């Protein structure tokens, strides 16, 4: 199994005999479903899944090549792991130090015989498998269809929460399990809030409205941002006070996407967007990273940030989402999910990135 081979290769570099996975994110590929319960223990010889009676039968039907152990009140995780450690000669076990609480780590230190080593297996999720890419493509398709629907739905006089409710309902109709995160609907001056969650504000004709949303599909996320002009069919888009801002953000986003290819450092992609916005005079108004990796979590590493030196590799999936935010006036952000290919990048969305007007066909 390619996943287990990759983990064991990583274990060699970490100088550990096994890794104990407890986070929902890092267990998903092993369990076959998303759960905060249970554990996965990968050793040199075997891969073990430890779950209680609620999940035991389900896991047994979903997984192959794993040794399944039932957690019970008289047989806790530590007892099972200690038994495996004795049978397989495990001396050093890695655990997810960034995910596990101090209290839990202390309890494990007292109850487990092998030495515990804090490790970061999240790096194993940076390059996606073909199956993961296909799943994220479907999550992106749902977001794409939703963007096309919602731009026709929005009308002056609606409340932001009404738009968010319609957006989330439509995503579920398209096959989403749930939203990837709390939906952002920020209209008019609220567009200057990068994370302006939907409020009771009424949307007014002539305003820009920024929608940032995503669909979770089979445990994987999409993430899209589009900024729309709320107006009728015959409204002249170029009369919007933020039209020039929109064009600057769009040009910055396209420049960043053009920089994406294998071997390029993440900070180089960030610089492509940031330098364009700075040269246009809006540098201080762009205060967040240009993007982030996406997968089981909506925000993963690496990041398109000024300090991230990670080199891009084929199979990575990241967002590209520069923005400009003018307090009291509004803001613009445009976001796509981008797949790093063998020779460049592929944008996974098809929704146009013009300053779309609601009500248009």
pLDDT tens across 234-259, in order? Answer: 566 777 789 999 999 999 999 999 99
79-96 pLDDT, tens digit each: 999 999 999 999 999 999
297-326 pLDDT, tens digit each: 999 999 999 999 999 999 999 999 999 999
What is the per-residue pLDDT for 47? 94
For the chain, give the percent of residues with pLDDT over 70. Answer: 97
Looking at every residue in the chain, the average pLDDT score rounds to: 93
**Among the ranges given (120-129, 206-215, 349-358), the one the predictor scored with the smallest mean pLDDT:** 349-358
Mean pLDDT of 110-134: 93
Q: Higher confidence at residue 29 or residue 114? A: 114
User: How many Cβ atoms are within 10 Å of 188's Cβ, its own excluded?
Assistant: 19
Alpha helices (H) in the chain, listed in sequence order: 2-14, 24-31, 53-62, 77-88, 102-111, 130-153, 160-173, 243-259, 266-279
Phi, psi of 74 (to 5 degrees): -90, 0
The answer to whether 124 touches 132, Cβ cutoff 8 Å, is no
Nearest residue to 131 (alpha-carbon basis) of 322, 353, 315 = 315
| CB-count burial class (<10 Å; 0-12, 13-18, 19+) for 278 | middle
Vertex 279 angle, CA 275 and 281, to 5°: 120
The answer to whether 337 touches 309, Cβ cutoff 8 Å, is no
Peptide linkage before 302 cis (omega within 30 of 0):
yes
Helix 77-88 × helix 102-111 angle, to 10°: 50
Mean pLDDT of 122-140: 94
Categorize the per-residue pLDDT at 360 as very low, low, confident or very high, splitting at 50, 70 and 90.
very low
Categorize the per-residue pLDDT at 271 as very low, low, confident or very high, splitting at 50, 70 and 90.
very high
What is the per-residue pLDDT for 235? 62
What is the per-residue pLDDT for 58? 87
Tokens of 118: 């804090």
Query: Does residue 82 sit in helix, strand or coil?
Result: helix
231 pLDDT exceeds 80?
no
Instruction: Give the contacts of 331 (CB within 8 A, at least 6 positions apart).
Output: 186, 191, 192, 193, 194, 208, 210, 227, 242, 245, 323, 324, 325
262 pLDDT exceeds 50?
yes
Mean pLDDT of 121-137: 92
Q: Label each residue of 186-233 as H, E or C.
A: EEHHHHHCCCCECCCCECCCCCEEEEEECEEECCEECCEEEEEECCCC
What is the per-residue pLDDT for 232? 59
């Amino acid at each position: 199994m390619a996943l287990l081979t990759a983990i064991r290769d990583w274990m060699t570099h970490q100088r550990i005999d096994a890794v104990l996975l407890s986070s929902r994110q890092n267990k998903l590929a092993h369990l076959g479903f998303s759960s905060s319960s249970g554990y996965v223990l990968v050793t040199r010889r075997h891969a073990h899944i430890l779950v209680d009676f609620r999940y035991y039968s389900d896991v047994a039907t979903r997984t192959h090549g794993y040794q399944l152990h039932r957690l019970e009140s008289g047989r806790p995780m530590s007892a099972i792991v200690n038994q495996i450690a004795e049978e397989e000669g495990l001396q050093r076990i890695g655990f997810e130090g960034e995910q596990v609480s101090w209290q839990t780590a202390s309890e494990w230190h007292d109850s487990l015989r092998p030495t515990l080593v804090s490790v970061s297996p999240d790096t194993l999720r940076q390059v996606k498998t073909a199956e993961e890419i296909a799943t994220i493509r479907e999550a992106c398709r749902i977001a794409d269809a939703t963007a096309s629907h919602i731009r026709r739905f929005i009308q002056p006089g609606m409340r932001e929460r009404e738009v968010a409710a319609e957006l989330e309902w439509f995503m579920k109709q398209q096959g989403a399990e749930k939203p990837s995160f709390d939906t952002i609907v920020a209209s008019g001056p609220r567009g200057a809030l990068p994370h302006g969650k939907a409020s009771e504000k009424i949307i007014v004709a002539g305003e820009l409205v920024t929608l940032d949303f995503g669909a979770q599909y089979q445990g994987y996320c999409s993430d899209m941002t589009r900024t729309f002009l709320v107006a009728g069919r015959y409204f002249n888009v170029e009369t919007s006070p933020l039209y020039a801002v929109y064009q600057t953000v769009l040009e910055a986003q396209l420049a960043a996407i053009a920089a994406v290819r294998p071997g390029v450092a993440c900070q180089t992609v960030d610089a492509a967007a940031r330098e364009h916005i700075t040269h246009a005079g809006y540098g201080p108004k762009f205060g967040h990273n240009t993007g982030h990796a996406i997968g089981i979590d909506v925000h993963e590493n690496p990041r398109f940030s000024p300090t991230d030196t990670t080199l891009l590799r084929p199979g990575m999936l990241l967002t590209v989402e520069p923005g400009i935010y003018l307090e009291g006036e509004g803001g613009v952000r445009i976001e796509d999910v981008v797949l790093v290919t063998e020779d460049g990048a592929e944008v996974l969305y098809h929704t146009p990135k013009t300053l779309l007007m609601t009500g248009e066909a």
